[in-house]
Amino acid sequence: MKSPTRQIIRAAIEADDTVSTRQAEAALSILDERPARDPSGGPPSLLLTQAEVARMLNISRFTVRRLVLDGRLDPVKLRGLTRFRRQDVERLAGNGE
């Protein structure tokens, strides 16, 4: 995204008083292409959703599913939810796969 567009969106988010601080921080982190922080203000989450993995690797969610089926990415099942370890995703990204 071009810098002027990013600045306009940032100004709009900051000016909108219906947007919570947490929502604004999440949106701005996407604009700045940095990982979103946990709402408690801690470090980025260790477990990622399929959508977060797709965004992180710049691939589709369908491709994330194919990586799982191919055995190149192991999901973690947690109370019926499917998540992915951040370190596994970063390893996969580092290998260029």
Q: Are 36 and 44 in contact (CB under 8 A)?
A: yes
Q: CA-based Rg of the chain, rounded to a whole angstrom?
A: 16
| pLDDT over 90 at 75, yes or no | yes
On whether the pTM is more than 0.85, the answer is no
Kindly write down the DSSP assignment for every residue of 51-92, as one continuous string. Answer: HHHHHHHT--HHHHHHHHHTTSS-EEEETTEEEEEHHHHHHH
Q: Is 92:56 a contact under the CB 8 Å cutoff?
A: no
Domain positions in the chain are: 1-42, 47-95
Query: Given the structure tokens 């999440």, which residue do they identify?
Result: 26
Of residues 95 and 8, more confidence is placed in 8
For the stretch 26-59, pLDDT in tens is: 776 766 665 555 555 556 678 999 999 999 899 9
Q: Is 47-95 a CATH 3.60.90.10 domain?
A: no
Q: How confident is the model at residue 96 (pLDDT cuts 50, 70, 90)?
A: low
Q: Residue 68 pLDDT more than 80? A: yes
